[in-house]
Amino acid sequence: MKPTLARTLAALLLALPTAAVLAQYKVVHPDGSVTYTDRAPSEASARVTQMGRNAAPSDPDTGLPLELRQAAQRYPVTLYAAPDCPPCDNGRRLLQQRGIPYSERRILAEEDAQALERIVGGRTVPALAIGPQQLRGFSETDWTSYLDAAGYPRESKLPRDWPQAAPSPLAARAPAARASAPAPAPAAARTVEPAPAPGGLRF
């Protein structure tokens, strides 16, 4: 090996650890793509994992069986749901019975409903994101088909001690000092053609 080439390779190898240290966040976008950044991302629909010495020991997906981990990394699942929503409960139950690792974003106020409309193109709950695929409304057949296509196992392989993250509002909240009163949760509609509820949500 020529001395110049050897020095170049050595310099590249030394630079790699430095570049890895600079990345403090792993970001999995709704379309399944992954990026690493040194700044906290503001994208509401992305799944963010903090890296570095002060972060958790590892990516939470590393505790999953290989087949499940590969599907979760390529096609992360996000459930968009509202309180007092039976179809949302049915969708959540399907994910849990099948052992799908997912994050849940709650639609609690008008700002959440607006964010949901930007992401999935409507205000119907529940909605499900499987990578870039957006599904509006609960259909066990459709959800199952898309989860199959994404490579998720049909039977649960999720570890029993898997920590399910707590649901969080979809839209970022203003500081408490600015908020005069919490916005009321959208009411559930019970008819086939429901009247618009606060926030315009439909089940």
- Give the domains, in start order, of the chain with CATH numbers: 59-169 (3.40.30.10)
| pLDDT for position 173 | 81
Give the C-alpha distances (Å, rounded to integers) separating 57 from 51, 53, 74, 162. Answer: 8, 8, 21, 15
Over residues 177-192, mean pLDDT: 50
- Assigned token pair, 162: 């898997």
Residue 18: pLDDT over 50? no
Q: Which pLDDT value is given to residue 120?
A: 93
pLDDT number for residue 201: 59
Query: Residue 191 has what pLDDT?
Result: 35
For range 6-33, the mean pLDDT = 55
pLDDT number for residue 184: 58
Question: Which whole number is the average pLDDT over 32-46?
Answer: 66
3-state secondary structure of 124: strand
The DSSP letter of residue 52 is: S
Binned at pLDDT 50, 70 and 90, residue 57 comes out as very low
Nearest to 96 by CA among 47, 148, 155: 155
The answer, yes or no, to whether the previous bond of 159 is cis (omega within 30 of 0) is no
Using CA atoms, how far residue 14 sits from 22, 39, 65, 76, 183, in Å, is 14, 23, 32, 33, 53
On the question of pLDDT at 144 being above 50, the answer is: yes
Predicted local distance difference test score (pLDDT) of residue 94: 97
Model pLDDT, residue 40: 64
Q: Which of 79-83, 116-120, 142-146, 171-175 has the weakest average pLDDT?
A: 171-175
Most confident of 13-22, 130-139, 161-170: 130-139
CA distance 102 to 147: 12
Unique residue bearing structure tokens 């309180």: 83
For the chain, the residue count is 203
Residue 19 confidence (pLDDT) above 50 = no
- 166 band by pLDDT with thresholds 50, 70 and 90: very high
> Which distant-in-sequence residues (6+ apart) come within 8 Å of 130 by Cβ?
75, 76, 77, 146, 147, 150
Residue type present at position 125:
V
Q: At residue 194, does pLDDT exceed 50?
A: no
Cα separation of the two ends of the chain:
67
Calpha distance 43→105 (Å, rounded): 13
Q: What pTM was computed for the model?
A: 0.60
